[in-house]
Amino acid sequence: MFCCSRPLLPISTGACLLFHCSFSIATPSDLADLSLQDLLRLEIHDDPFPVETLKERWTIEYSFRQLKLNGYQMADRSVGLEQIFQAAGEPRTAMNFPVVPIKATQEVHTFDISYRMNDRLKISLSVPLVKQNTEHVSSVPGFERFAIQSSGIGDVSFFSHWYQPLNAHSALQLSFGLSIPTGSIDEKGDTPRNGAGTLEQLPFTKQLGSGTWDLPMALSYLRHDGSWDWGVQATARIHLGRNHHNYHLGDRYGINVWAQYFTKSYFHPGVRVAWQHINPIDGIDTELLMPGQFRFPSPISNPDFYGGNNVNLSLLMKVCNSETNCKKYADLEFTRPVYRNMTGIQPREDYQFRISFGLKF
Amino acid sequence: MLTPVHAEQPRLEHSELSREYQIKAAMLYKFVWFVRWKSGDFKDKKSPISLCLSEPEPFGGYLDQLVEGRLFGKNKRKISVRRFDKKNYLDHLQECHVLFIPKGSDVPVPQKKGLLVVTDGRPIEKSSAHINFITSGNYVRFEINRNNLKKSHIRLSSKLLKLARVVGD
């Protein structure tokens, strides 16, 4: 659909032979290097988001993301520690817990590499390294205040991205991925469950991966209007089956809209609003359970206390190495939740921050 | 738990010239290589080969960037891009090897020996130009009038003729 429907000539040895014929070339020199046969194969339909020169097929990117959790929330309201913490001597109920995380930081270092096969298809590989630290309070003697850490490789993902121009101003992009359960779900720590000096299975959100083969996907509508790029994206992440601890994380669905200002400048500010729905965890890790009536020692041990609906607002800034191209770039994103309606009692997200550095070559 | 971003946001690279005219600029440059120029077409061995554009030309600075630094032929002639107002371009034709007349221009097509005239969107059967750009579907094409070539004593490579829609004997 995007290439020469009727070959005009025998295939030439120009770029069109390898890379289809509908690419958009950024520099005049690129076009001057093509043969006349190749020029005849180029589509003239203006691409709203033209691919950078064919010489820059590879992109490598490093990202650092940080998520801070502070406090607690039930449905759409904050709850104080005293409402959910079972202090010494207090009766236990279904809504208070002897172990409560009070502050958590998750940091992910991600290494991405992508290769543009032609002006429609790009493939990429993403390798995350996860590090988490959670501070707790507890009414268990010897564990009044303790921290748990976990770190290691997360779930490695492969993606394919198919890009299809619709007209001179807009395009669609379909991204389809496969997430491999390379991240450990067997992380353990010294928790109050069995006293000091023993290591117990950590709850779901302290693990480094999902433990399941997952299908992340996204469909995006992209538009270029004057100096503005904007778009709407629908996302989903489906978890296949259950992991070897007999659960899978809740599937996610979301929609986000974004806009970014692109003019002849090094700096390109933008904004994004994202809504996401997350299902509760399906299944249960029995290693997290305690005997007795109240089986969950901590709210984050309860699979039903996972997921909900949230709306986040992000401020974006892209910094490019020159005013006219972004071969080298830095991306910054700062995200705050503006609405959250969570299932059960969950840690409250304070903010997320991301900085990425990329290079195209 | 942080979720990786599934899909990137594509980045727009702004181009001030439409793809159609980028391609036509490149083709105009390429045509030079398919003409059998004679030594008499140039003042001397080092004089440049000139691509002349009748205003209002559609390429902006793109054609200039495209030919910058490039040399033509065994004498390594520079390729120059010159622009002339439609009122006075006839006065400068002797400096030109290729003349481009843009779409919508009402200037008459000159006939001068050794001057390759390229038009944009003027049906070649009714014009005295040698090459005319057309579009076919989503592609740029060009048509050549053999009769007009003969009248101007211009010889084009058969390789170029094979790529074109050819009219005339």
Residue A46: closest CA among A153, A166, A157, A152: A166
Three-state secondary-structure class, residue A127:
strand
The answer to whether residues A140 and A39 belong to one domain is no
In a domain, A50, yes or no: no
Q: Best residue in B19, B66, B140 to probe A by mutation, most A CBs within 10 Å?
A: B19
Distance between CA atoms of residues A14 and A38, nearest Å:
6
Contact B30 A39 (CB under 8 A): yes
In a domain, B13, yes or no: no
Beta bridge partners, A134, equal: A104, A148
Residue A332: closest CA among A85, A66, A98, A143: A66
pTM for the full model?
0.65
Q: Which one-letter DSSP state was computed for residue A193?
A: G
Beta bridge partners, A332, equal: A317, A355
In a domain, B148, yes or no: yes
Residue A45: closest CA among B135, B133, B65, B143: B135
For residue B126, what are the domain limits? 19-37+44-167
The domain total for chain B is: 1
CATH at B163:
3.40.50.2300
The answer to whether residues A178 and A91 belong to one domain is yes
Task: Give the number of other Cβ atoms within 10 Å of residue A348's Cβ.
Answer: 17
The pairs formed by A189-192 with CB atoms below 8 angstroms and a separation of 24 or more are: A189/A148, A189/A149, A189/A150, A190/A146, A190/A148, A191/A99, A191/A143, A191/A146, A191/A148, A191/A297, A192/A98, A192/A99, A192/A138, A192/A140, A192/A142, A192/A143, A192/A146, A192/A297
The answer to whether residues A23 and A88 belong to one domain is no
**Residue A132 identity (one-letter amino acid):** Q
Does B52 contact A at CB distance below 8 Å? no
The answer to whether residues A103 and A15 belong to one domain is no
Phi, psi of A127 (to 5 degrees): -125, 115
In a domain, B102, yes or no: yes
In a domain, B11, yes or no: no
The answer to whether residues A81 and A155 belong to one domain is yes
Does A41 contact B at CB distance below 8 Å? yes
For residue A34, what are the domain limits? 1-44
In a domain, A52, yes or no: no
CATH at A216:
2.40.160.40
pLDDT tens-digit series, residues B103-126: 888 888 888 888 999 999 889 998
Residue identified by tokens 């995350």 is: A128
Cα of A209 to nearest chain B Cα, Å:
9
The domain total for chain A is: 2
The answer to whether residues A37 and A119 belong to one domain is no
Phi, psi of A4 (to 5 degrees): -55, 120
Contact A48 B12 (CB under 8 A): yes
Return per-residue pLDDT of chain A as tens, 361 residues: 222 222 233 333 333 333 333 344 457 888 898 899 989 988 776 555 555 445 578 999 999 999 999 999 999 999 998 889 988 888 888 888 999 999 999 999 999 999 988 777 889 999 999 999 999 999 888 888 999 999 999 999 999 999 887 766 678 899 999 999 999 999 998 888 887 888 889 999 899 999 999 999 999 998 877 678 899 999 999 999 999 999 999 999 999 999 998 776 789 999 999 999 999 999 998 888 888 888 888 999 999 999 999 999 999 999 988 776 678 999 999 999 999 999 999 999 999 999 999 998 8
Contact A65 B27 (CB under 8 A): no
Q: Best residue in A3, A23, A31, A124 to probe B by mutation, most B CBs within 10 Å?
A: A31
Does B6 contact A at CB distance below 8 Å? yes
Distance between CA atoms of residues B132 and A281, nearest Å:
66
